[in-house]
Structure 1
């Protein structure tokens, strides 16, 4: 499996992702500059966290027009895998690959913490190494991570099982007190209807090594490798 990690001016989590895909998983990984338009060699495109183009205007609003994002849209339309983490999630919503938007946190503060997250389903490559209903701990670091969608879109996401990750208590309850940013329905991550595009605010790549005290994010990447192995 070959990973491509998009690099925008202002990206700061691109090397974190590459450390996991290339360093820990020993998978071919290419850093993809935002001006590139040929990504046909890639199996998985990762749009990482950071502050693409300085987050001027809205988060991800400028990045959506980059050549690499136009190529990423075509990549997704072919059924290939796309993962957006934090700022990458914001970019995917701006680009129309995922519905809804990420807006200012409820308390208007930047939030940096480790939080419990519930895995809602495990029948997709992203989550197949987890158990449905499993509670994991992942880091978050964002100022505009509150997920918003209109009522009809929200109902459709829930009905289609497109909510893959949800903020929760340690016992798995999606309560208001366990919601770090005010996201509607405690949403932490969603996929598109087809399931090949995932956007999430928590950082799985920052929970992938024992030295960090947490490896709960590693199962997401292992799931991708297992999915490819099953096809092969």
Structure 2
């Protein structure tokens, strides 16, 4: 049995079907069970009224409506609402009717009696096209700019780095949460590690933390692992 892995409860699906029993007792409750917010309608007039108020994202449309030709209605919907999802659901299963429905703008053409899992899968497929894009939450972290010459804080403050500070931070920022040994850091800072006073590393880190705090009011999580090295938390 088909079961979508996404519920589209905020995506409105208008079901325009004049068979009340099929619409209200079968299609609407079953599609709601698949996670869709269904809006039952019996006529084209009801659909037109909804378009003026709160247009649905998808319309499931019967061809044989009492007050409109479904094919002509499909063309009008596609012309006026080009991004709307449109699924035709009808008892007319001839190949010519299927072709006409798709030409008029339907995303899919299904024949009655319809397999309910197939209808749900079709709505799921169409929903992926019409679902309004959701903004991706921005992960606000400490990071370097593209060239590595500025440290950017989670609040987007920018702190310019000296050449030595840049050499210190570039390897550390590429491995957040992982300790880098003092020896490895010193090798980044000096061409000849034997000529580098290890105490200079601690002084450099101390000055950098203070510089960042004074410039941004934020505490830079450059953490000392005593006797071992440093890590950006």
**TM-score above 0.5, yes or no:** no
TM-score range, shorter chain: 0.3 to 0.5
With structure 2 as the length reference, what TM-score do the two structures score?
Answer: 0.38
| More helix, by proportion | 2
* Higher gyration radius (CA): 2
